[in-house]
Amino acid sequence: MEQYIIKGGNPLVGEVEIGGAKNAALAILAAAVMTDETVLIDNLPDVNDINVMLDAISGIGATVKRVDCHTVKINGSTIGGLNIDYDFIKKIRASYYLLGALLGKYKRAEVALPGGCNIGSRPIDQHLKGFRALGAEIEIKNGKIVAEADVLRGTHLYFDVVSVGATINVMMSAAMADGLTVMENVAKEPHVVDVANFLNSMGANIRGAGTDVIRIRGVKSLRKSEYSIIPDQIEAGTFMFAAAATKGDVTVLNVIPKHLDSTISKLIDIGCEVEEFDDAVRVVSKGKLKCTQVKTLPYPGYPTDMQPQIGVALALAGGTSTITESIFENRLKYLSELARMGANVKIDRSFATIEGVRKFSGARVSAPDLRAGAALVIAGLAAEGITIVDDIVYIQRGYENFEGKLRSLGGVIERVVDAKEIQKFKLKVG
């Protein structure tokens, strides 16, 4: 089992290149099979979740050609099956985007029902509500969602919950339904807009993505496209908080600063200096960080995927901070790990009170999920002494070459597999 070993105490300083947005890429890869022509997708992050999605797509017969580690060509004309196995769903929930994509294109799809996961129970009722509203019959059979329609018809739909997944999934089906679909109370995240832009680049007619109402005029078929995925605002934000927690000076390159508004605003609240450029943001952290209150909300609110990263910075800030996690019920577990490094935290279900401490001390901790895992690495970089992070397979799902990028900023971190390598690292860093 791979682990990260970190010698903390170095401020992170320098520039780091941000990759393509994983969550946009997952949906765009699914949408790419909706045409029988070849689609070229660029700026893909080279992370495990993307490889699983590509396997799921080739598993149903689509032709997948890796041009290089960030570029792929997909041709959906060779698809032979419409059944996505539990093996894929178990590894990445987002393979359920193939439900919306296949239902839109073929009017039929079977996808294993996703279960809960480490961060919460994660129902998919809003996805199913949307497919039903378009006229699909949905049956849950043998652990699978079987969706089928003679014809998908445009509809007027109001989501009860703002859901990224449901907005994207239903948007994909509606893109190839007959007539006009109006979806209200939709998610406005940058990756929802990116998927809409990608579908439009294939000839779909989708308007309003990025606002509360999306209007989709269905088209009969989609065509080839070449598309580059937007930068990952969560990867960028992670490095920005790594700068904050280590008293560093980091410039994230290749970002869309607008997508980082809520993150930037919180960094300023806690006392960092932030400089925005056309496609870069610099974060400088000097002096003691200040406490603040954080509540996670759908975009443009503060993202739940950036909650653990700010939590680590707040645990080192002066005074008492609070975190309200309003999107997923089980996303504060990392704070118990952080307490093992000396953080002073109280957790009451989805609410945490954090009393800042002067320093963390290195410890052995486990990554409970992807973003919390990255946050614990930041904690290790800010801590005195050696930290070992277990279960880094979660981190590898969503961060490309995380340790390499951190090293380029002066972080002392290695990926290790056994006690011998740990010993070697300890001897090297003294």
Whether 117 is catalytic: yes
Which of 327, 372, 379, 412 binds ligand UD1 (CB under 6 A)? It is 327
The pair of structure tokens assigned to 303 is 């993202």
- Using DSSP's 3-state secondary structure scheme, residue 343 falls into coil
**Which DSSP state fits 301?**
S
Query: 387 CB contacts (<8 Å, ≥6 apart)?
Result: 4, 5, 6, 8, 341, 362, 363, 364, 365, 376, 379, 380
Of 82, 95, 20, 81, nearest to 52 (Cα)?
Answer: 95
* Helix then strand then coil, % of the chain, to nearest 5: 35, 30, 35
Does position 124 bind ligand UD1 by CB under 6 A? yes
- Only one of the segments 35-43, 118-126, 282-290, 346-354 lies at the binding site for ligand UD1 (rule: CB under 6 A); that segment is 118-126
- Within 13 Å, how many C-alpha atoms sit on residue 388's CB side? 14
Tell me whether residue 47 or residue 409 sits nearer to ligand UD1 (CB atom).
Answer: 47
Binding mask 125-154 for ligand UD1 (x = CB under 6 A): xxx---------------------------
Q: What's the distance, CA 419 to chain centroid?
A: 32
- Only one of the segments 58-66, 115-123, 135-143, 406-414 lies at the binding site for ligand UD1 (rule: CB under 6 A); that segment is 115-123
**Which DSSP state fits 11?**
P
Tell me whether residue 327 or residue 365 sits nearer to ligand UD1 (CB atom).
Answer: 327
Q: How far is the CB of 276 from ligand UD1 (least distance, A)?
A: 23
Which of 187, 306, 354, 378 binds ligand UD1 (CB under 6 A)? It is 187
- Only one of the segments 57-65, 211-219, 302-310, 343-351 lies at the binding site for ligand UD1 (rule: CB under 6 A); that segment is 302-310
Rounded to the nearest 5 degrees, what angle is found at the Cα of 20, between the Cα atoms of 232 and 365?
60
The pair of structure tokens assigned to 169 is 């999934």
Tell me whether residue 115 or residue 123 sits nearer to ligand UD1 (CB atom).
Answer: 123
Q: How far is the CB of 363 from ligand UD1 (least distance, A)?
A: 27
Active-site residue identified among 69, 117, 272, 291: 117
Cis peptide before 114 (omega within 30 of 0): no
Does position 123 bind ligand UD1 by CB under 6 A? yes
Does position 165 bind ligand UD1 by CB under 6 A? yes
Residue sitting closest to ligand UD1 (CB): 165
* Residue 79 contacts residue 60 (beta carbons within 8 Å): yes
Which of 328, 334, 394, 399 binds ligand UD1 (CB under 6 A)? It is 328
Return the CA Rg of the chain. Answer: 22
Does position 44 bind ligand UD1 by CB under 6 A? no
- Residue 354 φ/ψ region, left for φ over 0, alpha for ψ in the -120 to 50 degree band, beta for the rest: beta
Which of 94, 133, 222, 376 binds ligand UD1 (CB under 6 A)? It is 94
Q: Which of residues 7-26 bind ligand UD1 (CB under 6 A)?
A: 23, 26
Tell me whether residue 58 or residue 326 sits nearer to ligand UD1 (CB atom).
Answer: 326
Q: Using CB under 6 A as the criterion, which residues of the chain lie in contact with ligand UD1 when the complex forms?
A: 23, 26, 94, 120, 122-127, 161, 163-166, 187, 303-305, 327-328
Q: Give catalytic residues, as residue numbers.
A: 117
